[in-house]
Amino acid sequence: MKSMIRNTLGSKTFTTYLPCGTQEAQAFASAVLDGETEVYKVESVSGTDTALTGRDVNVMIQNDTTSAKTYLRFIVKSSKHEGDVVAALQGKTFNGVKADKVVIVGMRSAEY
């Protein structure tokens, strides 16, 4: 059994996974977490147990008008390259910052 807790503190949201049922997760959240919490139960799992290769990507996005920046980190398919990542992010808004400029800070192969 696995539960996910979404914990909102002001404008930030944190996610925690616990190896327990929803009742135990709710009791934990009520006892020690501040802010608003929501507890979710995993209904089904898909995927494989085999190791997967991908690319660990760190990106900085910047808005040309406000000069605001934000950083993102995620895993992409191993067949994707820098141009694919930039094209997927360009013009979209993340953390309140519209991605006018996308800079790949780091991209490395990784096995998961």
pLDDT of residue 91 exceeding 90 = yes
Whether 71 shows a pLDDT value over 80: the answer reads: yes
CA distance 8 to 37: 6
DSSP 3-state of 27 = helix
Mean pLDDT, residues 75-96 taken together? 92
Average pLDDT over residues 92-98: 92
**What string of DSSP letters covers 55-76?**
EEEEEEEE-TTT--EEEEEEEE
Closest alpha carbon to 89 in 99, 77, 74, 104: 99
Q: Which residue has the higher pLDDT, 47 or 98?
A: 98
Q: pLDDT tens, 28-64? A: 999 999 999 999 987 766 666 666 788 999 999 999 9
| Mean pLDDT within 86-104 | 94
**Chain mean pLDDT for the chain:** 89
Amino acid at the residue 3: S
pLDDT value, residue 49: 60
Predicted pLDDT at 43: 75
